[in-house]
Structure 1
Amino acid sequence: MLTAVLKNFPRHAPRHAQGSNHSDLRQFNEGVVLQAIRLHGAQAKADLARITGLTTQTVGVIIQRMLDDGLVLKQAALRGRVGQPSVPIAIHPEGAYAVGIRLGRRQLDVSLVDFTGRAVLQRSTRYDFPEPEAIFQALDSHLQAVRDHLADAVGRVRGAGLAMPFSMSGWQQQLELPPERLSAWDSLDVRERVQRLSGWPVTVIKDTAAACLAELMQGAGQRLAHFLYVFMDTFVGGAVVQNGRLHSGLHGNAGAIASLPLREAHQAHEARGDAPPPQLLSSASLLRLEQAFQRAGLEPSAAYDGRALQPPWRDASERWLDDTACGLAFAVLQSSALLDHDAVVLDGSCDPALLQMLLERTQTALTRYSWEGLLPPRLICGQLGRSAGVLGAALVPLEPTLGWQYDISA
């Protein structure tokens, strides 16, 4: 079972840039310059040299090569300064493209992203059950729409990033499904299947790590060096950023807060034959809100939109908010003791107003614990919402330096 679960994921710890040969170093330096422009906007060569720590001559060579390849473009010269006018260098939106694919337990998302990281085409398919063949059929249709949109520019696609849960076949009991309904995923090489459908090289990343990557590159994470990322979806999930880098862990599963126990396990419980302590996802997940609505005879899909805070859904949402905030606060306390991070970024697939209420109640729940010996982290709302995962997936093939930050190619 473990081999099947890990089939589509990296199995080694992160490797950082080694500069082992000229080709690797050249690609790495190009990525460093591109990332500097992404984070700081259009910059002159001298400013890029200062930001990246590279020499002005090296930056000049890199910029000229990228100008020749159509990856960047020159903007109007800035005059009125001492010396020669400086020419800002910007990323060329049409210089390259990437495709992001997020394969979730409730929804398939496909996004075509230009070289600036802006989504230019988005397609989605919603489903109640992740049946493999139906999902691949929908994916094939979405990928054809991407090719049709690009037309002659299809050759500029650098690759596809695939974001998916660490185990599609896990937690059948919470999903209220018989085990055999999800077992088909265990024997699938999803990466190979998607690569066959797309014709592009495919890299795989855990869905919550992809969402965190997007937040790190384009959201609140740009201003944070150490944080725990929490994403509220069908199941809750997480990722870890340390020193401004996404930390993958040995198996690409760092930040798997869904599996955190909500209480300690005692020998006496085992002797009585009690079940193991419940995990965080048993209380902190949008699936629980769906099920609460269903028990009340209400439309469960309201868990993902503004209806959740309107009558008659509001009462069930209030109870869910209190229970979920308690579970999240317990997880935040444990992670703070282990990681010593300065913030927790909370985002999700639900309505932003519901997410803001969850953050506020989690902040209140944190005050019920003793923080002696610890520094409580700040709680911050993420900025990307349900699009975070598919955007992060697209950024993986788009940005060469990400391979050094997170070992997605092992």
Structure 2
Amino acid sequence: MEYRRTTVRDMRRSNRSVILTDIYRDGPLSRQELSVRTSLSAASVSNLVTEMIAEGIVEEAGSVESEGGRPRVLLRVAPGFRYVVGAEVGETLVRVELFDLALKVVATVDRPIDAPEPEVVVRHVLEGLASVLSTSGVPADRVLGLGVAVFGIVDANAVVHAQTLGWDGVPLGRMLAEGTDIPILVDNGANTLGQAEMWFGAGRGATDAVVALVGSGVGAALVAGGSSYRGTRSSAGEWGHTTIMYGGRECRCGAKGCLEAYVGAEDVLDRYREAGGAELTATDEEAAFAELLVAAETSEPAATIMADTIGYLSAGFANLVNLVNPERIVLGGWAGLLLGERYLPRLREEVGRHALRQPYSQVSIVLCELGRDAVALGAATLPILRLLRDGGVLPSARVLT
């Protein structure tokens, strides 16, 4: 095996990464606080901060009083140093959003799609990218990267395997890179939601957590020891395709009895129709799901379907509690939020009936704090994460893995 020696340049970049990450995730922070948090000497912190201020990536953000000395200057990552774009690819909609580095939305565009065919998705993402840049007046060379959140498994080469949609080894990263010079990063939507919630939302402060996404499909991001757990080939977190009922309903993936076939919004609506429930007036999936939730207050068929849905979801959560022992489960996704807003206390109670008492006593079940747009927001963190890992060195590769 060939070993690569660590150089002074490597150490410097690593130290920059540690400082920049702390400033970004927990800032504004003073130089003194950074020295304590990173265990780097005051001189090293001062030199590296001065360097990053000169580059424009870090800026001063006011000061705070200190005990018996001069006020301490606070530091933050400069919001306008560069911009990032996040795209959420759904089954009926592609959302593209432009953010500054403080993740403040600068421009947004939604593009409805009839079917998520790869070529259609690529066209809409690229058109959405052009639209947000044109609307905002931000030049392409000021954009750090385009993060794209998709369904399915994304391998190290930005190739997507989405069995439920018939995507078998789709080179999505390469296809997108053919239409733009902006660096491309691609990840599973549950993972991007998870990263956003762990950084800025309901997962903040937890070291072992599950962020569950419930929409048309179902997935989860697993966090162990403060780091994302991806498995051998990045397919960990396909929670929606764990078996909840042997020989049960056929799932879109082709298997029978998957959790997604019972709690995914499309399948919940299908179960309601199969049960002979009154016809829903809404034709849009999200609107129809919201209508079903309202109907459950007065309609027995709707109430039965929603009670069953909460039961299946609670069993799925209990499996996570027993299997991975998280300290926190965060429920997100548009359908997950709609369910949680009405049924969270019942869901917690039901999970307690299915899970082992000891691990259940150690877990809290909460709702996503960042709202329904958190998947696109999480996608936008992908180029930011790369920037932080590289210590503020700007990327050059067009498709980043």
Name the TM-score, length of structure 1 as normaliser: 0.80
CA 1:224–1:320: 2 relative to 1, 3 Å: farther
Q: What is the DSSP-based 3-state SS (H/G/I as helix, E as strand, rest coil) of the residue aligned with 2:372?
A: helix
- Write out aligned runs for 1:302-321 (5 A): 303=286, 306-311=290-295, 315=299, 318-321=303-306
Partner of 1:342: 327
How far apart are residue 257 of structure 1 and its match? 0.6
How far apart are residue 277 of structure 1 and its match? 4.6
Separation in 2, partners of 1:287, 1:222? 30
Separation in 2, partners of 1:192, 1:161? 13
Q: What is the DSSP-based 3-state SS (H/G/I as helix, E as strand, rest coil) of the residue aligned with 1:68?
A: helix
CA 1:384–1:340: 2 relative to 1, 3 Å: same
CA 1:24–1:361: 2 relative to 1, 3 Å: farther
Separation in 1, partners of 2:177, 2:56? 26
How far apart are residue 53 of structure 1 and its match? 2.6
How far apart are residue 33 of structure 1 and its match? 2.1
How far apart are residue 349 of structure 1 and its match? 1.1
Partner of 1:42: 28
Determine if the alignment matches structure 1 residue 386 to structure 2 residue 372: yes
CA 1:152–1:23: 2 relative to 1, 3 Å: farther
CA 1:27–1:156: 2 relative to 1, 3 Å: farther
Q: Which among 263, 271, 280 is matched to residue 259 of structure 2?
A: 280
The Cα offsets for residues 259-280 of structure 1, whole Å up to 9 and x where unpaired, read as 1111457xxxxxxxxx965111
Determine if the alignment matches structure 1 residue 199 to structure 2 residue 169: no
Q: In structure 1, give the amino acid aligned to 2:204.
A: Q
Is contact 1:289-1:303 (8 Å) kept?
no
How far apart are residue 291 of structure 1 and its match? 3.3
Is contact 1:396-1:403 (8 Å) kept?
no
Determine if the alignment matches structure 1 residue 301 to structure 2 residue 284: yes
Is there any run of 5+ residues in structure 2 with no aligned partner, and where? 154-159, 248-253, 391-398
Q: In structure 2, give the amino acid aligned to 1:74.
A: E
Structure number with greater CO (CA < 8 Å, separation at least 6) is 1
Separation in 2, partners of 1:209, 1:230? 9
Moved more, 232-241 or 370-379: 370-379
Q: What is the DSSP-based 3-state SS (H/G/I as helix, E as strand, rest coil) of the residue aligned with 2:173?
A: helix
How far apart are residue 105 of structure 1 and its match? 2.0
The Cα offsets for residues 242-296 of structure 1, whole Å up to 9 and x where unpaired, read as 122221211212221111111457xxxxxxxxx9651111101111234357674
The Cα offsets for residues 314-367 of structure 1, whole Å up to 9 and x where unpaired, read as 746533432222222222222222212112111111384532224333212223
The Cα offsets for residues 79-109 of structure 1, whole Å up to 9 and x where unpaired, read as 4641222111122110111111222222212
CA 1:383–1:79: 2 relative to 1, 3 Å: closer
Is contact 2:30-2:73 (8 Å) kept?
yes
Is contact 2:147-2:184 (8 Å) kept?
yes
- In the alignment of these two chains, the number of paired residues is 372
Partner of 1:360: 345
Determine if the alignment matches structure 1 residue 76 to structure 2 residue 62: yes
CA 1:79–1:355: 2 relative to 1, 3 Å: closer
Determine if the alignment matches structure 1 residue 259 to structure 2 residue 241: yes
Moved more, 320-329 or 90-99: 320-329
Q: In structure 1, give the amino acid aligned to 2:223.
A: V
How far apart are residue 152 of structure 1 and its match? 5.5
- Write out aligned runs for 1:50-199 (5 A): 50-79=36-65, 81-151=67-137, 153-166=139-152, 170=162, 172=164, 182-183=165-166, 185-186=167-168, 188-199=170-181
Separation in 2, partners of 1:41, 1:19? 33
Separation in 1, partners of 2:48, 2:183? 25
CA 1:259–1:158: 2 relative to 1, 3 Å: same
Q: In structure 2, give the amino acid aligned to 1:342.
A: E
Separation in 1, partners of 2:342, 2:372? 17
Q: In structure 2, give the amino acid aligned to 1:366.
A: V
- Between the two proteins, what is the percent identity of the paired residues? 22
Separation in 1, partners of 2:387, 2:93? 29
Q: In structure 2, give the amino acid aligned to 1:363.
A: R
Moved more, 352-361 or 194-203: 352-361
Q: What is the DSSP-based 3-state SS (H/G/I as helix, E as strand, rest coil) of the residue aligned with 1:246?
A: strand
How far apart are residue 75 of structure 1 and its match? 2.6
Q: What is the DSSP-based 3-state SS (H/G/I as helix, E as strand, rest coil) of the residue aligned with 1:75?
A: strand
How far apart are residue 114 of structure 1 and its match? 0.9
How far apart are residue 74 of structure 1 and its match? 1.2
Separation in 1, partners of 2:183, 2:163? 30
Q: In structure 1, give the amino acid aligned to 2:180.
A: S
Partner of 1:247: 229
Q: What is the DSSP-based 3-state SS (H/G/I as helix, E as strand, rest coil) of the residue aligned with 1:105?
A: coil
Separation in 2, partners of 1:241, 1:292? 32
Determine if the alignment matches structure 1 residue 217 to structure 2 residue 199: yes
Q: In structure 1, give the amino acid aligned to 2:214.
A: M
Is contact 2:90-2:151 (8 Å) kept?
yes
Is contact 1:102-1:164 (8 Å) kept?
yes
